[in-house]
Amino acid sequence: KQEVTQIPAALSVPEGENLVLNCSFTDSAIYNLQWFRQDPGKGLTSLLLIQSSQREQTSGRLNASLDKSSGRSTLYIAASQPGDSATYLCAVEDYGGSQGNLIFGKGTKLSVKP
């Protein structure tokens, strides 16, 4: 059964720092991997989607990489800002589950201090 793990569970950094969030998954047979942001009491906002054939995707200050063979993805945030404070969730869609069934990690809660 696919399992997704995110480390660390929480991270606090000063404004301006570059940072990396980690995501690992146990079964490399995936369709894609998606990174989300969740603000307290809100829904999920899609940040980046990486297809299984891709190595990375970029959007603004965000860069996500995927190493399917090792079961790892990273989300790199450049020049962090207080507005980046949120919980970041990683999810994979794999071949073993229901169509479109995203398997989520428990998230990394990021706090960027001014």
Nearest-approach distance from CB 34 to other proteins, in angstroms: 7
Given the complex with other proteins, which of 52 and 85 has the nearer CB atom? Answer: 52
One-letter-per-residue 3-state SS of 58-82 = EECCEEEEEECCCCEEEEEECCCCH
**Are 65 and 71 a contacting pair, CB within 8 Å?**
no
- Asked if residue 40 binds other proteins (CB under 8 A), the reply is no
Given the complex with other proteins, which of 11 and 44 has the nearer CB atom? Answer: 44
* Binding footprint of other proteins on the chain (CB under 8 A): 31-32, 34, 36, 42-46, 49, 51, 89, 91, 93, 97-102, 104-107
